[in-house]
Amino acid sequence: MKKIGILGGMSWESSSKYYRQLNEGVRDRLGGLHNARSVMVTVDFEKVERLQHEERWDEVWHYLAQEAKTLELAGADFLIIACNTVHRVASQIEAGLSIPLLHIVDTVVNRLHEMGVERVGLLGTRLTMEGTYYHEKLEAAGIEVFVPELKSRRYLQQLIFKRMCVGTFLQRDVEKVVDVIHAFEARGAEAVILGCTEFGILLQHAKTPIPCVDSVDCHIEQTIQLALADHIEDI
C-alpha cells in the first residue's frame, strides 16, 4: 500500500473529512483492521487565506511547497492537497518534489467523463470560480463550464469563509445554494461541481435538481485507488 501525503488544514473541517473517508475507504476494500497509510501536515489557514486575499500567490506557493516537502521527507509516495483553491499553485508545488501530485480537478474530470456530462456548473470560492485552473482542465476535456452571476459569487465567498470554514451554516444558506443550482440547470448544466471542500457538508441532505459532483469525494476515491494499486498483503 502506498503512503499518502496529505497537505491539509485548509480548512481543518475538510481535512477531517479527507482523513475519515480515506481510512473508511481502505477498510471497506481490504476489511479487517486495515486503514490508509498516510502522513498529514496541517498549515495555518489564517495565513493562507490572508495571502490569497492579498493576491500574494508566490508566498502561498513557497509556504505550501515547504510543507509539501516535509511530507515527501516523511516517506509519502504521492501528494494530495486537501483544498480546492490552492490547487491554483499545485503545478508549482509539484515541480519542487520528486513524488507525484494527484490533482483534484483531474479526478473531477474523470468522474464527469464516467457520467457522460458535457455541461457543468461550478461552485467554489471566487478564486476557484473566476480563476483558470478548473476552467482550463474542464475545457481541455471538452466540458463546458458555467459559474454563478457576480452577486451569487460574492455571497458564496462570504458563506465559505465566514461560516462554512468554521463549521457552521444556516438553513437559508442551503436554500440559496440550491437556488444557484436551479439557475445552472436553467442554463443547460447537466451536473454541478462542488468545487469547495465544504460544500459537500452543506448539501449532504439537500435535494438538488441536477447531480452534485463533490470534488472531495472524487479526490478521495481516486486517492484510494492509487494508494491500493498493486497492493500486496503484508505477511
Chunk the chain into consecutive blocks of 10 residues (it has 235) and report each block's average pLDDT, rounded to whole numbers: 96 90 97 96 94 92 97 98 93 96 98 98 93 94 97 92 78 93 98 89 91 96 95 57
Q: What domains are defined for the chain?
A: 4-103+218-228 (3.40.50.1860), 105-215 (3.40.50.1860)
Print burial letters for 13-24: b (CB count within 10 Å at least 16), e (below 16): bbbebbbebbbe
Cross-strand bridge partners of residue 4: 38, 78
Q: What is the CA radius of gyration of the chain?
A: 17
**CA distances in angstroms from 12 to 9, 72, 182, 215, listed in the order given:** 4, 21, 30, 16
144 phi, psi to nearest 5 deg: -80, 140
Predicted pLDDT at 233: 62
Residue with cell 486517492: 223
pLDDT at 200: 82
Neighbours of 188 (CB within 10 A): 12
pLDDT, position 235: 38
147: amino acid identity, one letter: V
Question: Nearest CA to 38 among 84, 79, 85, 95?
Answer: 79
- Residue 186 contacts residue 203 (beta carbons within 8 Å): no
**At residue 158, what are phi and psi to the nearest 5 degrees?**
-65, -40
Q: What is the pLDDT of residue 3?
A: 98
Rounded distance between C-alpha atoms, residue 203 and residue 225, angstroms: 25
